[in-house]
Every structure is written in C-alpha cells, then in structure tokens.
Amino acid sequence: MSDKVVSMPNEERFQARIDAEEKIEPKDWMPEKYRQNLIRQISQHAHSEVIGEQPEGNWITRAPSLERKAILLAKVQDEAGHGLYLYAAAETLGITREELIERLHTGASKYASIFNYPSLTWADVGAIGWLVDSAAIVNQVSLQNTSYGPYARAMVRICKEESFHQRQGYNIMMTLMQGNEQQRAMAQDALNRWWWPSLMMFGPHDGESAHSAQSMKWKIKRRSNDDLRQQYVDQAVQQALAIGLEVPDPDLVWNESRGHYDFGEIDWAEFERVINGNGPCNRQRLAHHVKAHEEGAWVREAMAAYDAKRGKPTVDVA
C-alpha cells in the first residue's frame, strides 16, 4: 500500500475501495452509517422472504393437484431458505437473529409491503410467483454486485433459485388462461389485484427515495428504483400479453423512441396506506409470525438447555 493511501482518512479510503469495486467484508472497517444502512436493507429483505411464506403458504394445504402442491412446498421452502441466507448475512454486521426478529415484531424493521395483500384464489399463487418473484429477480440480480460481500454472495445463491419460482407462477397463469372462462377470469382478477402492488415493490421514485442517493454512492444499491421498475414492466407486460392477459393500466403504451413501455402513475396514497399498516393483512401477517415465534419459545429454550447441559455453545436461532 502506498503512503498516500495510508494517509487517507478511513472514510475516504473506504469510498476509494467502493469506487474500485472492491467487496467490503465483515472484518473490514466501514462507516457506522454504512453498517446501519445495510442492516436495515438486509433485514428488511430477510423479513420479506419469511413473511412472504404466508400468502403462498396458505395455499399449500389447498393446492389443486399433488404436483402443484409439491412445487409450491418446494417454492415456499426456498423462500424460507432465502430468509436464512439473509439473516446470516445480516448477522455478520454484528446483530443477532433475536434482535432482528424483535425489530420485526416491534415494527422498527419493515418487510415488503406487497405481502400485506391477501391471496384470495389459487390464481393469486400464480400471480405472486410470476409477478412478485419477477420483480424480486430484477432487484436481486442488480444486488449480486452490491458492495457488501456477504450480501452479494447471498444474492448469487438466491438468484439461482428464483427463476424456478417465476416459471412455476407463470405456468400456473398460463394453465389458467388455457382453461375455461371461470379460470381465465380468476387469472385476470389476480393480475388486476397484484399488478400495481408489484410495481410498488421497487419503492418511491428516485427523487423521493429516502435512502437512495447514499446507497448508490456506497454501491449498496446498484440501480435506481425507476430504472429497475422499467425493466420489470417491460418484461412482465410482454409475458402478460403472450398468454392473453390484459394489464390493468389504461396509460400503458409502447414508446418506440424510448424502446420501453410508458405506464401510468402508481397510486402513491395507496402505497403509503399499506406501508403504514392499513393493507388488508398487515396485522395478520405480523400476528402470524409473532404467534409462531412465541409458541416456539419453549422449543428454543429446550434446545438451548439441552446444548448447555452437554457443554455445547448455544446457537442463536431465535
């Protein structure tokens, strides 16, 4: 290392590493705000995977065929696994799983607001897999290059599993669209209800995003909300049209000069309403997680007691 680099203050040297596309590892020096920003983002991502088990999971016992049931079980199991990778990545930043879950339960930490919508029909399982996982993939692919090493590596593992999720969801929609009138209506209704929330997954417009500018500078985020949203819309619209679904946006139109779809404005009041606790299922989603966690307390205690008796270090599994 040259003298010049050594004489740089920590913060500048850190930014120089980021600018040089070096990965930041858990033991490296990092600004406290970088750490906190990452904990916020990774834990929100982890909670989303776990809370996301619920809307699809509630169709496991009602799946319409054994093959669909097996696929859905595998899919939801993957999502729980993603939660696990991400909690592990967050823990490298010096926070425990118990603390992360505590923050979820107190509302200090968020999860993807889209999971506050209900999955009312079987078509919703298709719509979630197709749209929500598509949106997640667009976002997660960009995060494979995020500056924090453990987060980037978790994204690489997760992305490998996501394409199956998207395909199974789209396949459900396609099958419904090839079915009878009732099935096609079920698919269209699901798209009507999930379309706008899926666009909201990318967050506020770039100018209005509270954490965006700093996150881009630190390369925690690699692409802007609007940029990612546009890519998602371009893909999903084509896929909808290919199977005869109508996208519920009167302003949607192909813009030849931009080479992208123009689309209508998101209802940001609705976005705020759901984020702030007024979606159809906010209370149930959280209560479901709290209940499972509380009912499992005696099991975690038993495991810790058993390990302690045998002189094994306790694993934090909260």
Partner 1 sequence: MTANDSLLTYCLRLGDDALILGHRLSEWTSRAPFLEEDIALTNVALDFIGRARLFYQYAAELQGGDATEDTFAYTRDVRDFTNLLICELPRGDFAFTIARQFLYDSYVLLFMEQLKASKDTRLAAIGAKAEKESTYHVRRGREWMLRLGGGTEESHAKLQRAVDDLWGYTDEIFEVDTVTAGLIADGVAVDPTLLREEWLATVSRVMAEADLSQPSPGWSVEGGRRGIHTDDLGFLLAELQFMQRAYPGLQW
* Residue ranges binding partner 1 (CB under 8 A): 50, 53-54, 57, 60-70, 73-74, 76-77, 80-81, 83-84, 87, 122, 172, 175-176, 178-180, 182-183, 288-289, 291-293, 295-306, 309, 317-318
Q: How far is the CB of 239 from partner 1 (least distance, A)?
A: 19
Residues that bind Fe ion (CB under 5 A): 49, 79, 82, 133, 162, 165
Nearer Cβ to Fe ion, position 30 or 89?
A: 89
Nearer Cβ to Fe ion, position 155 or 245?
A: 155
Nearer Cβ to partner 1, position 76 or 141?
A: 76
Q: How far is the CB of 45 from Fe ion (least distance, A)?
A: 9
231 contacts 138 by C-beta, under 8 angstroms: yes
Q: How far is the CB of 80 from partner 1 (least distance, A)?
A: 5
Nearer Cβ to Fe ion, position 73 or 303?
A: 73
Taking alpha carbons only, the member of 290, 156, 143, 301 closest to residue 225 is 143
Which one-letter DSSP state was computed for residue 116? G
User: Inter-axis angle of helices 181-200 and 133-143, to 10 degrees?
Assistant: 30
Q: How far is the CB of 53 from partner 1 (least distance, A)?
A: 4
Which one-letter DSSP state was computed for residue 93? T
Q: How far is the CB of 145 from partner 1 (least distance, A)?
A: 27
Nearer Cβ to partner 1, position 243 or 252?
A: 243
User: Which of Fe ion, partner 1, none interacts with 165 (beta carbon under 5 to 8 A by kind)?
Assistant: Fe ion
Contacts of 21 (CB under 8 A, 6+ apart): 219
151 contacts 39 by C-beta, under 8 angstroms: no
User: Which of Fe ion, partner 1, none interacts with 296 (beta carbon under 5 to 8 A by kind)?
Assistant: partner 1
Q: What is the DSSP string of 6-64?
A: HTS-HHHHHHHHHHTTPPB-TTS---HHHHHHHHHHHHHHHHHHHHTHHHHHTTGGG-S
Q: What is the largest CA-CA distance in the chain?
A: 73
